């Protein structure tokens, strides 16, 4: 994926998740996970993810230092970001047909500028997303790990870039 591909602009808006959007946000996370992440994980890791990305579990976690932002296009949720303790990315997913247009970058920017995401920020990146995280400023933090059936590359962003990139459009 590269910025040189010409894709039509999308009019998206990022904001905190409303509780009535939890079903749609979690369905998006699970379906994007199944398509892009699951092929590189084992069955145990996939089952664990599906339990983590249930709407009731996600909303319950909001009582324990988690917060969630969504990218919406009209009434439709097209991206989701779930953060723990304002410094660890737990879920970040963009709808397949909207990928590569700045939505994940905009979700991170919205969470950061509202004080919901404070550097240093960590993430356990799935192997397919390592290049994306590197593009937005994360660097590997140790070797790739396999924990609870989940293969991931620990990554860390020490500081936000001084000028946050403008979302497209």
- Contact set with ligand COA (CB under 6 A): 1-3, 32, 36-37, 92-94, 99-105, 125-126, 128-129, 131-132, 135-136
> Residue 44 region, left (φ>0) first, then alpha (ψ -120 to 50), else beta?
alpha
Distance of closest approach, residue 115 Cβ to ligand COA, in angstroms:
21
Q: Which is nearer to ligand COA, 63 or 163 (CB)?
A: 163
Q: Which is nearer to ligand COA, 25 or 63 (CB)?
A: 25
Distance of closest approach, residue 108 Cβ to ligand COA, in angstroms:
8
Residue 106 near residue 14, CB atoms below 8 Å: yes
Cα-based distances in Å from 119 to 11, 33, 159: 28, 26, 5
Q: Which is nearer to ligand COA, 22 or 129 (CB)?
A: 129
Distance of closest approach, residue 62 Cβ to ligand COA, in angstroms:
20
Residues 6 or more apart in contact with residue 12 via CB below 8 angstroms: 71, 72, 73, 78, 79, 98, 103, 106, 167
Distance of closest approach, residue 89 Cβ to ligand COA, in angstroms:
7
3 state SS of 158: coil
| Count of CB atoms situated within 10 Å of the CB of 30 | 18
| Count of CB atoms situated within 10 Å of the CB of 166 | 10
Q: Which is nearer to ligand COA, 63 or 84 (CB)?
A: 84
Q: Which is nearer to ligand COA, 21 or 90 (CB)?
A: 90
Distance of closest approach, residue 35 Cβ to ligand COA, in angstroms:
7
């Amino acid at each position: 994926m590269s910025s040189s591909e010409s894709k039509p602009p999308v009019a998206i808006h990022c904001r905190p998740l409303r509780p009535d959007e939890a079903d749609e946000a979690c369905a998006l996370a699970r379906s994007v996970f199944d398509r892009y992440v699951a092929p590189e994980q084992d069955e145990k890791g996939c089952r664990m993810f599906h339990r983590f990305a249930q709407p009731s579990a996600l909303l319950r976690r909001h009582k324990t230092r988690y917060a969630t932002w969504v990218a919406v296009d009209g009434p439709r949720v097209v991206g989701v970001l779930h953060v723990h303790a304002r410094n660890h990315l737990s879920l970040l997913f963009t709808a397949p047909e909207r990928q590569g247009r700045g939505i994940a970058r905009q979700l991170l920017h919205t969470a950061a500028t509202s004080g919901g995401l404070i550097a240093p920020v960590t993430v356990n990146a799935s192997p397919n997303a390592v290049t994306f995280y590197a593009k937005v400023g994360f660097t590997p933090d140790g070797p790739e790990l396999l924990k609870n059936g989940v293969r991931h590359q620990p990554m860390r962003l020490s500081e936000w870039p001084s000028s946050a990139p403008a979302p497209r459009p």
